[in-house]
Structure 1
Amino acid sequence: MNNERPLVSIMIPTYNQPDFLPEAVDSALAQTYPNLEIIIADDRSTDEACREVLAAYADTPRVRVCRNETNLGRVANYQKTLYERARGEWVLNLDGDDYFVDPTFIEQAVRLAQAHPEVVMISGVFVDRSPEDRLKPSKANSGPERIYSAAEAFEAMLEGGYFPFHGSTLYRRETAVRIGFYQHDIISADLESLLRLMLTGHAASLPCEAMVRRRHGGNVSSAISVPDFLDDTITFSAPLRAGSAMEAKVDKSFVRDWVARYTFRKGKDNAYKILKNNRSNAGYFAYVREIVRCTPKSGVRILLQPKNILKVLRNLLGHA
């Protein structure tokens, strides 16, 4: 390991994204940080154009092209790349349809990490790009550069000042592997993992616009089914599942209180989406039951939300 310039691994998982992948890879190559490896992890794409893109980068310095023997699925591809392919002390996962915008982001993040050895993750601003090509930077991480204790990071996340978005967060590989990143095949496998990582040390935020998240019809999160919502409730309880390997830096009572508040805030929004977008009263009540298993008071509060009650009645009457 080069202590002056620790190796950073940028993982770029991809599947049938020939129109987007070159921009993702080129944006990683444009990063000014010198000790960098870029791992294109192709999950056995079936599109011939994808193979052509992969071949174009086969001999590019700092790039390793890896193609799975079989299609593993999104989360298993993340996991294989992190555990078996990445060699860096620090890792970032940039999905194949996203791209960096600030070429100095990795360099700034490593500088911050080296100045603060207690930091386990550094997050920059992420920018949403709509299907109409409108750009909207996140409010999270946009304030002054800051180092958070674990408890402060959790509180800032609730307040909207901090958020560990996958594509704009550099994290310690050794710690991530030790606590079992990407162990659940759910929509929010990335956030579930990062929430557990937040327990283990300090977090940092950088105000630079690190990367762009594309919103398009092919996103996994673009059309979430009721079963997906149900599976994703694992994310709410993630900080409560702190095993012996976690070495949590926050008190358990704080974690329980935070989980209750976070579960209510996110759970009520998701519950209403099930009622409005999926138009499923049965799915709504199944979802609330899952919330109750995590934190009963939050589940009851969601159940008693006036707009939810009204929407249940409207669904029963067949109103849009």
Structure 2
Amino acid sequence: MDLPLVSVVIPAYNRPHTLQIAIDSVLEQTYPNIEIIICDDSTDDRVQEMMVPYLHSFSQIKYHRNERNLFLANWHKCYDLASGEYINYLMDDDVFHQDKIKKMMYFFNEFDNITLVTSYRQTIDESGQFLPPMHATARLYQETRIMDGKMLGNVALACCLNVIGEPTTVMFRKKDLTELYGVYKGKQYSLINDMAAWLSLLSKGKAVYISEALSYFRRHPNQNNNTMGLQAFSEWLDITIASREDGFLNTNELYRTALESYRGRVGDHHQFVGDIARIEMILATLD
């Protein structure tokens, strides 16, 4: 087949029902050359049992049950097992639009120096019904845009919010991610590992933002995001500061905006006293 192989990689964990929906959304893709890599970090056998009929029927699905919980390393295992030229993570509770891969591959095939393609993502509830967008998932632009990668990175950094998309949303070329997924400038990020990967990719080329919904981001009570709380912000300051080495936030005005956004979002919470002091020192050097 002449079309490049796309690897859809799924780090699975204890959600057989939504995983089945996620897998079906990949099998229904209008792009024909796809493999599915599933690495199962579950604490029980429900996912493994659900996978049996799929493995009998679909040779393009590769399933691996971990002998012990790998946590972040499970993301790396999925990536390492992928044979495709292109990678798209898929969370086991999210869903692809049937044209997602085809429409994103168009930009890689037709334009030079594209290192990341993302899109608007529609928020859904437990049963798949549409929800109003959150601040992070609001449509960035009303039209599809190709832009410098650092420009899109700056949009996220300046508001201290991942407006680029969850792992499900983004497609990239495997060779362009030169550090492990979630590692940026040598540091492994655990709570914003997607942003770490996106900045690494955006520092190397152009980005595409597609204005139509090509994936569906499920919100539910057992979601990992709901357990992060303020802890997620503990990594934003480090990644904001590190991003300047790659040319993000390249003016004092942009850098100040990003730091003040962080300060505004964490408020006066005692957990971030050290971060606020650190920000004040940096801001003083920008005056």
Q: Deviations over 1:276-310 (max 9, x none)?
A: xxxxx4213134245457xx22999xxxxxxxxxx
Using the TM superposition, give the Cα deviation of residue 153 of structure 1 relative to its aligned residue in structure 2, in angstroms.
2.3
Q: What amino acid is the match of 2:68? A: T
**Pair 1:218–1:144, CA change in 2 (3 A):** same
**Pair 1:39–1:105, CA change in 2 (3 A):** same
Q: Contact 1:164/1:194 (CA < 8 Å) preserved in 2?
A: no
Partner Cα separation in structure 2 for residue 237 and residue 89 of structure 1: 31
Aligned twin of 1:309:
none
Q: Deviations over 1:163-196 (max 9, x none)?
A: 24321110111111x1333231421111122112
Alignment coverage as a number of residue pairs = 274
Q: Contact 1:57/1:65 (CA < 8 Å) preserved in 2?
A: no
**Pair 1:290–1:50, CA change in 2 (3 A):** farther
Q: Write the mapping of 1:27-38 to structure 2, written as runs, cut at 5 A.
A: 27-38=25-36
- Mark the runs of 5 or more structure 2 residues left unpaired by the alignment: none
Using the TM superposition, give the Cα deviation of residue 240 of structure 1 relative to its aligned residue in structure 2, in angstroms.
2.9
> Which of residues 204, 207, 217 is equivalent to 2:208?
204
> Which of residues 285, 288, 294 is equivalent to 2:276?
288
Q: What amino acid is the match of 2:54? A: Y
Q: Contact 1:10/1:91 (CA < 8 Å) preserved in 2?
A: yes
Pairwise CA RMSD: 2.9
Using the TM superposition, give the Cα deviation of residue 262 of structure 1 relative to its aligned residue in structure 2, in angstroms.
2.5
Q: Contact 1:240/1:255 (CA < 8 Å) preserved in 2?
A: no
Aligned twin of 1:41:
39
Q: Deviations over 1:133-183 (max 9, x none)?
A: 4423533355222110134323554589x624321110111111x133323
**Pair 1:111–1:37, CA change in 2 (3 A):** same
Q: Contact 1:186/1:232 (CA < 8 Å) preserved in 2?
A: no
Partner Cα separation in structure 1 for residue 274 and residue 25 of structure 2: 42
Aligned twin of 2:81:
85
**Stretch moving more, 141-150 or 208-217:** 141-150
Using the TM superposition, give the Cα deviation of residue 237 of structure 1 relative to its aligned residue in structure 2, in angstroms.
2.9
Structure showing greater relative contact order (alpha-carbon pairs closer than 8 Å, 6 or more residues apart): 2
Partner Cα separation in structure 2 for residue 299 and residue 13 of structure 1: 43
Q: What amino acid is the match of 1:211? A: S
Q: Contact 1:240/1:256 (CA < 8 Å) preserved in 2?
A: no
Normalising by structure 1, we get a TM-score of 0.76
Q: What amino acid is the match of 2:46? A: A
Identity across the alignment (%): 23
Aligned twin of 1:239:
243
Q: Contact 2:192/2:232 (CA < 8 Å) preserved in 1?
A: no
Q: Write the mapping of 1:292-307 to structure 2, written as runs, cut at 5 A.
A: 296-297=282-283
Q: Contact 1:291/1:299 (CA < 8 Å) preserved in 2?
A: no
- 2:210 is paired with a residue of what secondary structure? strand
Q: What amino acid is the match of 2:82? A: A
Q: Contact 2:76/2:180 (CA < 8 Å) preserved in 1?
A: no
- 1:51 is paired with a residue of what secondary structure? helix
Partner Cα separation in structure 1 for residue 65 and residue 99 of structure 2: 29
Aligned twin of 2:21:
23
Q: Contact 1:233/1:290 (CA < 8 Å) preserved in 2?
A: no
Partner Cα separation in structure 1 for residue 15 and residue 228 of structure 2: 20
Aligned twin of 2:181:
181
Q: Deviations over 1:85-112 (max 9, x none)?
A: 1111111111111111x21111011111
Bigger radius of gyration: 1
Q: Contact 1:119/1:201 (CA < 8 Å) preserved in 2?
A: yes
**Pair 1:54–1:267, CA change in 2 (3 A):** farther
**Pair 1:66–1:230, CA change in 2 (3 A):** same
Partner Cα separation in structure 1 for residue 181 and residue 107 of structure 2: 23
- Mark the runs of 5 or more structure 1 residues left unpaired by the alignment: 243-250, 276-280, 301-320
Partner Cα separation in structure 1 for residue 146 and residue 175 of structure 2: 20
